[in-house]
Amino acid sequence: MAQAKRVALILTHGSESMEVVISADVLRRAQFHVDLISIHTDGSKQVDCSYDITLMSDYNNDPGSENAISLDGYDALVIPGGKVGYVTLANSQIAQGYVKQFNSQNKLVAAVCAGTLLIKTSGLGDSDGNKKLKITSHPSIKDQLVPDFDYQESRVVVDENILTSRGPGTTMEFALKIVEVLGGKGLADEIGAPMIVPS
């Protein structure tokens, strides 16, 4: 039996709760091992997400945290948005380091909503006239991405090992596409059908 895929989902205070919970739920339905990894300076595993929804992460990876873990053994990195959280993640050297690490190993980097800005701040954009990475995001940050990426309006975009999506309302499609990339379309269809996801 194949070893379960391992997914690291990073989040912080102000992350979009729908994007965190739907992504984690769908990936766990696919029998993937999903860890919620908080990145904030108070060292707590408690995460105060959008709309007064509190979640508990599995680990806190702020420097010096007693329960920090290495992300070396993971197959994919998932990045949510959120009105406040996306700014924290986009400016986090820890989060940027994760994106660079996964991208350099050609592992899946998946960002939804304004979480896509972290891909830019991690240096994956190209404004030198070379082939630009296809990407999408929440419309509110489009202007920040257009100069460095081949910006798309599609609900989910995959280009090489980078997968992006638009917002809370596209998170189910986003999560199922992660399942498809990591586990095949058959698995994505299998878990999508009982959830009454349109095919």
Residues 184, 124, 135, 137, CA torsion sign: positive
Choose, from 13, 40, 49, 138, the residue flagged as catalytic.
138
Calpha distance 118→130 (Å, rounded): 20
Calpha distance 108→83 (Å, rounded): 24
Is 113 catalytic? The answer is yes
H or E, element range at 103: helix 93-104
Choose, from 13, 40, 49, 113, the residue flagged as catalytic.
113
Q: Where are the beta strands (DSSP E) in 14-161?
A: 33-38, 46-48, 54-56, 59-60, 76-79, 108-112, 134-135, 150-151, 156-159
How far is residue 86 CA from its own chain's centroid?
A: 11
Q: Which amino acid is at 94?
A: I
Is 40 catalytic? The answer is no
The residues, ordered by sequence, that sit 6+ positions from 52 with a Cβ below 8 Å of its Cβ are: none
Q: What residues are labeled active site?
A: 113, 138
